[in-house]
Amino acid sequence: MGITDLPSVNDYWAMETRVPQVANLMSSERFRLLKRMVHFNDNSKIPGTIDRFFKIRPLFSFLNNAFKTETQTPNQSVDEVMIAYKGKRADNLRQYIKNKPEKWGFKRFARASEDGFIHDMVLYQGKTTLEPMVSP
């Protein structure tokens, strides 16, 4: 969960391994409730889209637009970046790249400045990555 990585979510609230920055912010029950209930898109709008990341697209677009407004440096690069994911519910969206520190996760292409700041990114969805998000 961010900078401090513990084996179980419960460990952030446990007496021996308590992380005050998390535990003081909210109860474990509230965290579980938010994790279960948070939605970034309306499920009733799913039909007619080929966007495999439909459920997080509004959040992703908001972040991407914010990144593009930052001052850019003349030296930039494009690379594939893994968003680590060890869960089982990603179907075939989860990718494997053997030369990356995080081998399993969601692949994205990112354009970053020389200081590492990302200015633009595209989530990899297989062959449909660069196709329009709405089917005809």
C-alpha torsion 12→13→19→25, nearest 10: 110
Residue 54, pLDDT score = 83
pLDDT digits (tens, 9 = 90+) for 86-112: 777 777 788 888 888 888 888 889 999
Residue 49, pLDDT score = 65
Which residues in the chain come in under a pLDDT of 70?
1, 3, 47-49, 128, 130-136
Residue 12, pLDDT score = 93
* Cα–Cα distance for residue pair 25/27, rounded to 1 Å: 7
Q: Which of 107, 101, 105 is nearest to 86 (CA)?
A: 105
CB neighbour list of residue 30: distance below 8 Å, 6 or more residues apart:
none
Q: Domain-by-domain residue ranges, the chain?
A: 12-39, 43-123
Residue 136, pLDDT score = 42
Residue 47, pLDDT score = 62
Six token digits for residue 40: 């970034």
